[in-house]
């Protein structure tokens, strides 16, 4: 498909759909946690994604090899990926989908701060500064509110925040240093390969591996492997090759919106004014941070 300057109808529909998948995935993780211990579930997801990704790379002939200069950075990326999903899956075990979505999808806030310090040409402009301030206010509102948005757990909320920071660290590693020379599929390979080993090794320390699993839990794991960890991210990387990165990123504000909607619609989570207000602030801040400059 030819490279495009602006998001067209296909791109808009695709990006909205991907945001919906990410929001729905929060519900899926919480449901799967009911039958499979969270860290073990995250490990199974990485193992499944690793197998499918390896088959895809073999089929496409896109294997670049583990270049010696990337080993250290790739391992660090994999460790961050492991930490992200230990924290995210545990957060969704403790607190609601709505609260987790608002806090976890604040990732662009922490990415913008890190890029300001580490990536040349990624300084925080007045518009980004306004977006950061608004999103900060939303995250703070969500953390301080103790009475709405379903089950409330400060530990779970802080874990969701930690997962967002780890995700931002992964994005920064992908843009600077040795890993920036790798194709996205190889970056994803590092993440799932290292995390598959670490998560499976860590899982026994978090309690019994199974919690009376049923077919719905296995279906949820299959969805995470196929639609998110493998197919979803490969599709997103493909969209990045076609459309401007800033325009693609601007659709990220929809993910927490879908997460809150699905938590309310499918899990009957109680959504109060504080969570809706926090969601509005975070989504608006993310949009301002990622919005392309005028004229582009």
Residue 267 lies in a domain: yes
Residue 3 lies in a domain: no
> Could you give the angle at which helices 97-104 and 254-267 cross, rounded to 10 degrees?
170
Say yes or no to pLDDT of 149 above 60.
no
Residue 295 lies in a domain: no
> Could you give the angle at which helices 154-175 and 97-104 cross, rounded to 10 degrees?
30
Q: What is the mean pLDDT of residues 115-126?
A: 85
Give residue 214's domain range: 9-290
Rg of the chain's alpha carbons, rounded to an integer? 18
Phi, psi angles (nearest 5°) of residue 210: -120, 145
Say how many domains are in the chain. Answer: 1
Residue 296 lies in a domain: no
Residue 2 lies in a domain: no
Contacts of 249 (CB under 8 A, 6+ apart): 108, 290
Residue 1 lies in a domain: no
Q: How confident is the model at residue 293 (pLDDT cuts 50, 70, 90)?
A: low
Residue 241 lies in a domain: yes
pTM of the model: 0.92
Give the tens place of pLDDT for each residue, 24-42. 999 999 999 999 999 999 9
């Amino acid at each position: 498909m030819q490279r495009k300057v602006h998001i067209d109808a296909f791109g808009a529909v695709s990006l909205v759909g991907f945001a919906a998948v990410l929001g729905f995935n929060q519900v899926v993780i919480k449901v799967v946690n009911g039958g499979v211990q969270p860290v073990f579930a995250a490990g199974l997801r990485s193992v499944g994604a690793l197998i499918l990704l390896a088959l895809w790379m073999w089929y496409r002939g896109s294997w670049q090899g583990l270049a010696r200069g990337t080993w250290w950075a790739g391992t660090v990326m994999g460790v961050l990926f492991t930490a992200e999903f230990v924290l995210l899956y545990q957060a969704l075990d403790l607190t609601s989908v709505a609260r987790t979505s608002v806090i976890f999808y604040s990732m662009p806030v922490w990415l913008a701060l890190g890029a300001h310090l580490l990536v040349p040409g990624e300084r925080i402009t007045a518009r980004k500064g306004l977006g950061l301030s608004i999103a900060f206010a939303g995250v703070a509102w969500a953390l301080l509110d103790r009475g709405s948005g379903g089950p409330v757990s400060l530990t779970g909320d802080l874990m969701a925040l930690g997962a967002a920071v780890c995700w931002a660290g992964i994005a920064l590693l992908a843009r600077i240093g040795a890993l920036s020379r790798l194709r996205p599929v190889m970056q994803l390979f590092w993440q799932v390969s290292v995390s598959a080993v670490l998560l499976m090794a860590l899982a026994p320390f978090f309690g019994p591996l199974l919690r009376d699993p049923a077919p719905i839990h296995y279906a949820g794991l299959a969805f995470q492997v196929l639609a998110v960890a493998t197919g979803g991210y490969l599709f997103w990387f493909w969209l990045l090759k076609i459309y401007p990165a800033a325009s693609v990123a601007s659709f990220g504000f929809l993910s927490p919106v879908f997460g809150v909607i699905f938590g309310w619609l499918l899990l009957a989570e109680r959504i109060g004014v504080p969570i809706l207000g926090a969601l509005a602030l975070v989504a608006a801040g993310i949009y301002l941070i990622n919005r392309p400059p005028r004229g582009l």
